[in-house]
Each structure stands twice: as structure tokens, then as C-alpha cells.
A and B are shown apart, each in its own frame.
Chain A
Amino acid sequence: MSGFDNVNSDFYQTSYSIDDQSQQSYDYGGSGGPYSKQYAGYDYSQQGRFVPPDMMQPQQPYTGQIFQPTQAYTPAAPQPFYGNSFEDEPPLLEELGINFDHIWQKTLTVLHPLKEVDGSIMNETDLAGPMIFCLAFGATLLLAGKIQFGYVYGISAIGCLGMFCLLNLMSMTGVSFGCVASVLGYCLLPMILLSSFAVIFSLQGMLGIILTAGIIGWCSFSASKIFISALAMERQQLLVAYPCALLYGVFALISVF
């Protein structure tokens, strides 16, 4: 298990260009040769992502030796260096980029549709929360006897793509696909409530229609609220809410029928 995989796995995902690597092969410790210039340097600031200031590393090649734990190396700045040994590896969730606190905050934002939303919460696009919600939606549909994971994924993919094109055309600043998918996935949460109701009693009566309409309105209202504040679009909330309502309407159709 090479320890060098851990160097880049801090919480804010970064990537380094493959050109920095001049030598691809590992030199395993049989002959114990020097492990020269494996990485030319880590330039965190190139990619324009979130860079916490304490993570900036100077451009220094790592000239330690693999599998020789007694080799002395000095990191140039005091920073959390994830070394070779097992105990120094970052926790799994941090490595995967799943932060339960952020997921919970965004969920609360969706659940309180009348609260003012801050536009910056969507700056880090995480797809872990939406994935959980999609799976939960499929699971509640399964409980009601409808095995339709394929439709759920297909419709969400097409819907996300359509919303992405529309929002890019309608807003002044562009929007990334991950942001659109993340917002739409989080606002799927009330739909899970609807499909869990469908397990208990059938939604095809008048009460079911009113409940469905209310939940579609709730989902699309919170989705459009987040989009409007994140993209600074003025006087267009209803225009953004309508395609979201169409998308969630299709999900509701799956739940009801």
C-alpha cells in the first residue's frame, strides 16, 4: 500500500496534473534505491478550488525513501502530512469528501422553504447527499411494490441535463453541472415523504392529489429559491420553478401511478 496516495486526499478535493510526474515506476524496497523525484511538486492553487491557507505547500520534491521508515525527512512547513503508516491515513469520510455536517445543513435549508438562503452554500458541489436521497426514494418505491430504479435514474439524468442547459442560457453567470445535480438532488427530499405516504395509503383520491400538488410545489419552490440566490437571477423565480415543477411532477407520477 503506497502512502503517496494519501497526500492529495484532504477534504477539499484537489487534483494535480499528470505532467508533474516524471517517473511512474515504484522502486520497491528490495534494492532500496533512492526514490527520486516522484512528484515534482504539489501546486494546489492551480486548480482554482477552495484552498485553505494552511494547506499550501512549497514546490519541493519529495526525496524520501519508500519502505525505510527510519529515513529522516523534514516537511518544509508544519502541515498535516499523511505519511506511510496506517495510523496517519485520513479518516475514510474525509478522504471521500463526505461531510455529514454540510449535508445536514443543506437538508435543513430544503426543509425550511420560507427561510432565507445563503447563496454560497452551493459553492462546494457534493453529490453524496443527492445520491443518498435518490437511493432512499428508490427504496420507498420498492416498499410500495414498484421496482423502478431505472426510471428514477433516467429521469433524473435527463432532468438535470435539461435544467443545466436552461440555467446556463437564462443566467448571467454560468453554472456547473455538479451544482445543478446537487441542488436538484437535495430538493428531492420532500418527494421521499410523498412516496412513503404511497406505501401506507393510495394517492389516487382527492386527498392524494392535494398532497401531491403541495409536495411538488414545496420541492420546486425550494429548488428555485436556491438557484435564484446562488446565481443572482432577479424576477425569474417562477420561471425557474416551473421546469423544476415539471421534473418533480414526473417523479410524483412514478410515485402515484
Chain B
Amino acid sequence: MATAAMAYGSSIASHGKDMVNKELHRFVSVNKLKYFFAVDTAYVAKKLGLLVFPYTHQNWEVQYNRDVPLPPRQDLNAPDLYIPTMAFITYVLLAGMALGIQKRFSPEVLGLCASTALVWMVIEVLALLLGLYLATVRSELSTFHLLAYSGYKYVGMILSVLTGLLFGSDGYYVALAWTSSALMYFIVRSLRTAALSPDSMGGPSSQQRVQLYLTLGAAAFQPLIIYWLTFHLVR
């Protein structure tokens, strides 16, 4: 009866897989998520350069193609989720390595680091969503956009930790200052144009002001969280 059991098992497995897919599609639209991962090497390289040195970039507008935003492959200003995801995983592994160098490593600490960073990310995205909702700002920013923009700080974190490991505490503070200011400039410039939908020209000025305060608040929050999540690694 082995083949009968195998057939039964495979039918159970495919049934389970269908169920998982159905549940997943209720929460996450895979097509919308695929938009954020349509990247190529040139885009990633230019975006990383932009995150470290955004001061010379001129045009921050996200380009549209008949009301549909262009994917990241074709538009440098479009947000993506590949860089934040990879940066998050790299940050967790780097934290493990830094703790290992300081002889303070154990697998539980790795999990602790990962879950702390994840929780702070969730809090930040929820706070931004709440702010956007309360201010009744009508914008094109979905949850994934906010996730992407708040995930870009991990690149700065990785650079700060690396500099701190190579050059000691002074190098860490210098890198922290540089990446924080670059990131603040990047977020303010990106969100100011991204928060406006392509056909509205700003709406009432009070709404514009609230939007600006939100953006500035989000930007100011970044250096604090970068410092909080990295200083214990560069003791």
C-alpha cells in the first residue's frame, strides 16, 4: 500500500499548499509585493549610493506611466523592498558577528537582536500609518511604501557598525552622524514628493503643513533609532 499512501500524502500536501496560498492572498497581494522586488543590479547600486550621498540628486519625483508607477528597474526614485530586506538580514548577522568578536555571542542574543529591530520597525510603520490616517492625508503611500522607507535606515546602521568595528568608537560616531544626516535628507526629499498623488496639486495648505510635520518627524526619528539599535554593538 506504499503507493497508495504516497498518493494520499501528495494529495494532502497539495491541499495544504492551496490552503496556505489562499490565506496568504487574503492578507498580502503578491502582485503588489512583486512590484517592490522588480529590481536589477544597476538600480541597487545607484540607490545605495543615493542613500549614502543624496545631496547632489536633482529630480526626486517618482515617474508614472499612465497613473501606474514605474517599477524600480526603470525609475531610480521608486521605493523597493529588496534593499531593506537584505539590509535587515545583514544587520542581524553583523550584530551576531560583532557580539562574537566581543565574546558576548550566543544564539539567543541573535534572536533578541532580530526581534528588537523587527518590533521597532513595526512600531514605526504603525505610527506613520496612524499619523497619515489622523491627518487625513490622501496619498499614494501604502503600507509597503512605508515599510520600504523605514527599512532604508538599516543600510546606515550597517555602515555605522562596520566603521565602528574597523575604526573604534570615534569612527562609529562619525559614521553615525554622516549616515543620519544623509538619511534625514533622503527621507524628507523623497516623502515630500511621494506623499502627493500625481493629480492633486497639494490641497489646502494646512494639510500640506501637517504632511510636512509628519515627514520631518519621521526623519528626526531615524537617528535616534539608529543609535539605539547599534551603540551596544560597538562598545
Contact = CB atoms under 8 A, between A and B. Distances in A.
Interface in A55-108: none
A5 B2 contact: yes
17 contacts: A4-B3, A15-B10, A17-B7, A166-B85, A169-B34, A170-B38, A170-B39, A170-B82, A234-B40, A235-B40, A236-B39, A239-B40, A239-B41, A239-B44, A243-B86, A246-B93, A249-B93
Contact of A18 (B11, B34, B40, B100): B11
Interface residues of B, number: 27
Interface in B43-57: 44
- Please name the 5 residue pairs, one residue from A and one from B, whose CB atoms are nearest each other, closest first: A169-B37, A235-B40, A170-B37, A238-B41, A8-B3
Interface class of chain A by DSSP: helix
B163 to A, nearest CB: 19
Interface string B19-38: 00000000000100110011
Most chain A beta-carbon contacts within 10 A, residue among B1, B11, B37, B39 = B37
Nearest to B30: A169
B167 interface: no
A21 B39 contact: no
Contacts of A237: 41
A5 B41 contact: no
B4 A21 contact: yes
Contact of B3 (A9, A169, A243, A246): A9
A214 B2 CA distance: 46
A253 B107 CA distance: 12
A148 B86 CA distance: 26
A17 B11 contact: yes
Contacts of B42: 235
Interface string A183-204: 0000000000000000000000
B90 interface: yes
Interface of B: 1-4, 6-8, 10-11, 30, 33-34, 37-42, 44, 82, 85-86, 89-90, 93, 97, 100
A204 B204 CA distance: 63
Given A5-B1, A243-B86, A246-B90, A18 B8 contact: yes
Contact of A236 (B6, B7, B40): B40
A242 B93 CA distance: 13
Contacts of B44: 238-239
B4 A246 contact: no
Given A15-B7, A170-B82, A257-B100, A239 B90 contact: no
A239 B72 CA distance: 14
A11 interface: no
A133 interface: no
Contacts of B93: 246, 249-250
Interface in A8-49: 8-9, 15-18, 21, 24
Given A5-B1, A246-B89, A246-B93, A235 B41 contact: yes
A221 to B, nearest CB: 14
A242 B86 contact: yes
A239 B39 contact: yes
A2 B3 CA distance: 11
B8 A236 contact: no
Contacts of B37: 166, 169-170
A201 B220 CA distance: 50
Nearest to B2: A5
A257 B7 CA distance: 44
Max chain A C-beta neighbours (<10 A), residue from B11, B41, B44, B97: B41
